Amino acid sequence: MNNVRMNSLRGRELFSYLPAYYETSRVMLSDMDAKGSELDALYQALNSAADQFFVRTATWGLAHWEMELGIPTDRNKPIEQRRAVLESKLRGAGTFSGALLKNVAEAYDGGTVEVFFQPEAWGFTVKFVDTLGIPPNLEDLKSAIEEIKPAHLAVGYAFNYLLIRDIHDVMTLGELGQTPLNKFAGGV
């Protein structure tokens, strides 16, 4: 090829299908680059549209998912939190059980969750096993659990915090200085 550069990936592919005598033609090179750029944009739009069909990859399509599932749209929430609410709502169908609660809670937290039932107290506890502090999406999780649990059961939440015995031999001063206070017991 001559010293004219092709910017389009698909333009290069289109150009490769042409006979060899076009290799020195700036006109054909520009033509294939322009057509290839349009194809690049089309493929990008198609891939973006396909991403909206799945909660884990949706961005601008989250509002459609929220409308379909009856969830109020809050564009001020981070996309990951909105996805967690949707995923939990999709997972939350079925007979009430510990497995269902665990599945829903893990969709919000992204970590391991354990559910402990206390039949004598007519309740259960959701324990966040590997999350330090209070998960950022806790209010949405509470709403989801209230929606799926039987009304007569009380729910409690147990959180993990860093304790002095946890940091004594494990964390360096640099790591300690970069750990937010809300990860410590009694932290703000």
Instruction: Kindly report, residue by residue over 145-162, the tens digit of the pLDDT.
Output: 888 888 888 999 998 887
Residue 56 lies in a domain: yes
Whether 106 and 166 map to the same domain: the answer is yes
Whether 109 and 89 map to the same domain: the answer is no
Q: What pLDDT sits at residue 95?
A: 73
- What confidence tier does 1 reach under pLDDT thresholds 50, 70, 90? very low
**Number of other residues whose CB lies within 10 A of the CB of residue 141:** 23
Q: What is the mean pLDDT of the chain?
A: 85
pLDDT over threshold 90, residue 43 = yes
Looking at the 3D structure of the chain, how many domains does it have?
3
Residue 70 lies in a domain: yes
Whether 45 and 60 map to the same domain: the answer is no
pLDDT in tens, 17-42: 999 999 899 999 999 999 999 999 99
pLDDT in tens, 51-95: 999 999 999 999 999 998 888 898 999 998 899 888 878 876 667
Q: What pLDDT sits at residue 91?
A: 77
Q: Of 34, 65, 93, which residue is a domain's last?
A: 93
Residue 188 lies in a domain: no
Q: Where are the beta strands (DSSP E) in 15-133?
A: 113-118, 123-132
Q: Model's pTM, two decimal places?
A: 0.52
Provide the total of helices (H) and of strands (E) in the chain, helices listed first: 8, 3
Whether 43 and 59 map to the same domain: the answer is no
What is the residue range of 1's domain?
Answer: 1-51
